[in-house]
């Protein structure tokens, strides 16, 4: 496996971050809407798969993020 750099500075809204096997991240962030003020999302920065819940950061949401990070092989799009 090649060496990888784990970002030390997270975006302010990221509550939990899971590292995928290829170095992308799955980030858990608040994503409230008008009807769902406690909605949170887990979003993969590699393949952009997203899972939502409406009740805050639940164990189910973290489990999804953990499981996705263990299997996803999509690389994030280069920013430069």
Give the interface with Zn ion as residue ranges (CB under 5 A): 44, 46-47, 49, 72, 74
- Tokens found for residue 37: 């003020």
Distance in Å, CB of 72 to Zn ion, minimum: 3
- Cα separation, 22 vs 71, whole angstroms: 9
Looking up tokens 């189910």 gives: 60
Report in angstroms how near the CB of residue 2 gets to Zn ion at its nearest. Answer: 19
CB closer to Zn ion out of 10 and 36: 10
Nearer to Zn ion, 18 or 46 (CB): 46
Angle made by CA atoms 48, 76, 54, in degrees to the nearest 5: 30
């Amino acid at each position: 496996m090649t060496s990888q750099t784990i970002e030390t500075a997270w975006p302010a809204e990221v509550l939990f971050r899971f590292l995928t096997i290829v170095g992308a991240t799955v980030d858990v962030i608040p994503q409230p809407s008008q009807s769902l003020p406690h909605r949170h999302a887990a979003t993969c920065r590699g393949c952009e798969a997203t899972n939502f819940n409406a009740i805050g950061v639940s164990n189910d949401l973290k489990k999804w993020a953990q499981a996705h990070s263990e299997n996803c092989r999509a690389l994030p799009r280069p920013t430069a």
